Structure 1
Amino acid sequence: MTPSTSSRSELTAEQLAACAPIEQYFFGHAHDDASYMRQAFLPSAHIESMREGVFTSWPLNVYCERFGGKPAADEATRRRSIDWIEVAGTAASARVTLVHGAITFTDYFVLLQTQDGWKIANKAFVGQPTQA
């Protein structure tokens, strides 16, 4: 769950702080638990993608319905990494990769530093077949 393009020791304090909601997001996937997602995202967040050529935009509550509390059978083999994170003041962006069996997801996050700490404001993603 650590950045793959640089070691954690190479990240600035502000980058490490901005990674906190991404780590919550990773825990949400690992445990199939929406409560981690609610901690990671702003309540107004949308999760967006193109699914079979159609634009899809889920509000956070709809996205959280996808998590039922039962980790995937192949959870032990799944990999998640922060590829990069860039911080400018109270705004940040990050790309993460989630290798979930036959599908690899690339997520792009917009993050904001709020009075409650860093939160994911929005997510755009694509899922593609995992390369062997």
Structure 2
Amino acid sequence: MTLLMTDGVPAGLDHRVLRPLNAYVRGHATGDPAHFRDAFLPSAHIEGIRGGVFVSWPLEDYSTLFTGSPAPDEKDRVRRLDSVEVHGTVGAATMTLIHGPDTFTDVFLLVHVDGAWKIANKVYHRHAQAAG
């Protein structure tokens, strides 16, 4: 499983920076939180607004949101890498996730540590759905 690449991925990018992003996508696609341990630093936090309230989950708390099984609508979900920037040992990436009626924008801070790229932190925005 790989990400759908877009024009936001610069030519000549060291594609090793995409490894944690692909692991993150595998975690969502399979529902297996073990993939998040491959993607994130152990100290990572996942932050955003949920139900109108700011949340800041440590990685282990975030991982409990996943059941170990794919979502029933997994075949219809879309995940797109919108942009990646690398500056030496740090980087940033933006991804769009369409999960049923919900669309999320995820922004990742990446760091190259101990010979590998990892997600240091993630923030997300859940787009409001239009009234139907």
**Both proteins in one fold, TM over 0.5:** yes
In structure 1, distance between residues paired with 2:65 and 2:32: 9
Tell me how large the CA RMSD over aligned residues is.
Answer: 1.8
The equivalent of 1:11 in structure 2 is: 11
In structure 2, distance between residues paired with 1:119 and 1:11: 21
The equivalent of 2:52 in structure 1 is: 53
The equivalent of 1:82 in structure 2 is: 81
Deviation sequence 1:46-92 (CA, Å, 0-9, x none)? 00002243221000000000111110111001000110000000000
Q: Which runs of 5+ in 2 are unaligned?
A: none
Letter in structure 2 aligned against 1:31: T
Judging by fraction of residues, say which structure has more helix: 1
The equivalent of 1:121 in structure 2 is: 120
Aligned length: 129
Matched-pair contact (CA < 8 Å) for 2:49–2:126: no
- Could you list the structure 1 runs, at least 4 aligned residues long, displaced by more than 6 angstroms after superposition: none
Q: How do residues 91-110 of structure 1 correspond to structure 2 at under 5 angstroms?
A: 91-110=90-109
In structure 2, distance between residues paired with 1:12 and 1:119: 20
The answer to whether residue 37 in structure 2 is matched with residue 42 in structure 1 is no
